[in-house]
Each structure stands twice: as structure tokens, then as C-alpha cells.
């Protein structure tokens, strides 16, 4: 039952975000904000596919333990592409609210993103081991969480100050994604049922993409 439900959910998710991303890229008409948003959606979907596709295959065949290597590699790729996702989201913020300068914030975003990627690349993460060390999972997610908080604050302040109705909940989608993701990082190895939080976490990301898509359809004719 888990294999059927999870595989079906992941398939719908991947197809949805990738198609929405492609549509946004094609219909952006030179609008850099929505072009970036489309690229962001495709990066999200393609990056997650490296982990979710082998996971679905594993669940439908011989189990997760038999696919430790592809799952580990997929998780590493997903970790990297998710970081790129937030870099792109930062630049969506800059284009949408016509932000110029602000070099310190840009430096901080890049510093946190690169720190996350470098930590992900360390062999101590043991990506190919089914039982990966919790300590390194924490290390690599510290800069990622700080980056997430920074993006939340930026969108919350800007949407409120500009009374940006279409993007008024963008900050909330990011809050929810981290709220569901962090317990998985901390407790999923000891309490496997916690892993189910990845479903609402994924829904939060879909909401993020839908916000951008709906705004584009209203603003670009």
C-alpha cells in the first residue's frame, strides 16, 4: 500500500512542478522574474526526481536497502539542487521588488548556499550508507536552515511593505516546508513514521510554484 500511495503522489508531484516550470519559461516573455521562477520549478522537479524515482522503484521491487547507492546519490543531488532552488528564489525576490545593491544580503545568500554545498560534498556524510550519520545531517542543514529563514524574512517584509497580494503567502510556504522537513532530519531514523512529513513538505513546495504561476498568468497577458 505504501508503495502505491507514495509512488502515485511522487509521480503527480514531479509531473506537476516540471510542467508548470516549462510553461512559465515559455510564457515569461522576457520577464526575468517569471523566467527564473520557471527555471526554479524545473530545478526543483528534476532535482527531486534523482531521489524520488529510485525510491519509487525500490518500494515497488526489492526494498530500500537494495537501492542504497542510487538513493544516496539521488539524495546528494537533491540536496544540491534544493540549495540552487533557494538561490533562484532569492533572485526572484530581487527582480519582483526591484532591489538594487544590497550586496551584504547577496553575499550572505551565496555564502550560506556554498557552505551547504561544501558540507554536502564531504565524504563523512556517507551518502551511500543506508544509515547516514545524524551529526553530518545536522551540519549540512544548519546553513540551509539559516538561508531559509533569510528568504522567509525577505519575502515577508517586502510583500507586506508593497502590499503584494499575489505573493502574500510566499513566506508561509517556506516556513511550512522547513517546519515539516526539520523533524524528518532530526527524528526519522529513530521514528520512521516521521518520514510521512515529507508529503506536506512537498505540498508546500508545490504551493510555492503555484503562487508564482498564478501571479504570472495574471500579470503577463
CA-based radius of gyration for the chain? 18
Check residue 221 and give its pLDDT: 65
Residue 23 contacts residue 38 (beta carbons within 8 Å): yes
Which pLDDT tens digits describe the chain residue by residue (221 residues)? 667 888 899 999 999 999 999 999 999 988 999 999 999 999 999 999 999 999 888 888 887 778 888 989 999 999 999 999 999 999 999 999 999 988 999 999 999 999 999 999 999 999 998 888 889 999 999 999 999 999 999 999 999 999 999 999 999 999 999 999 989 888 877 777 787 888 899 999 999 999 999 999 998 76
DSSP class of residue 200 equals H
Residue 180 contacts residue 200 (beta carbons within 8 Å): yes
Q: What is the pTM assigned to this prediction?
A: 0.94
Could you tell me the domains of the chain?
A: 2-219 (1.20.1070)
Q: What are phi and psi of 43, to 5 degrees?
A: -60, -40
Amino acid at each position: 500500500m505504501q508503495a502505491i500511495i507514495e509512488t502515485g503522489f511522487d509521480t503527480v508531484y514531479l509531473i506537476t512542478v516540471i510542467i508548470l516550470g516549462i510553461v512559465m519559461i515559455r510564457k515569461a516573455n522576457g520577464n526575468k522574474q517569471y523566467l527564473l521562477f520557471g527555471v526554479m520549478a524545473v530545478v526543483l522537479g528534476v532535482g527531486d526526481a534523482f531521489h524520488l524515482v529510485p525510491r519509487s522503484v525500490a518500494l515497488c521491487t526489492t526494498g530500500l536497502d537494495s537501492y542504497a547507492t542510487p538513493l544516496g546519490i539521488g539524495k546528494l543531488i537533491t540536496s544540491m539542487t534544493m540549495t540552487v532552488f533557494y538561490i533562484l528564489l532569492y533572485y526572484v525576490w530581487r527582480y519582483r521588488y526591484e532591489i538594487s545593491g544590497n550586496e551584504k544580503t547577496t553575499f550572505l545568500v551565496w555564502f550560506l548556499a556554498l557552505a551547504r554545498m561544501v558540507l554536502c560534498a564531504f565524504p563523512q556524510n556517507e551518502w551511500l550508507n543506508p544509515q547516514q550519520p545524524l551529526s553530518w545531517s545536522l551540519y549540512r542543514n544548519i546553513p540551509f536552515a539559516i538561508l531559509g529563514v533569510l528568504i522567509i524574512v525577505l519575502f515577508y517584509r517586502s510583500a507586506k511593505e508593497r502590499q503584494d497580494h499575489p505573493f502574500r503567502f510566499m513566506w508561509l510556504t517556506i516556513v511550512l516546508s522547513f517546519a515539516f522537513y526539520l523533524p524528518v532530519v532530526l527524528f526519522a531514523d529513530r521514528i520512521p513514521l516521521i518520514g510521512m512529513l515529507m508529503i506536506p513538505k512537498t505540498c508546500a513546495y508545490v504551493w510555492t510554484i503555484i503562487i508564482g504561476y498564478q501571479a504570472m498568468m495574471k500579470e503577463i497577458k
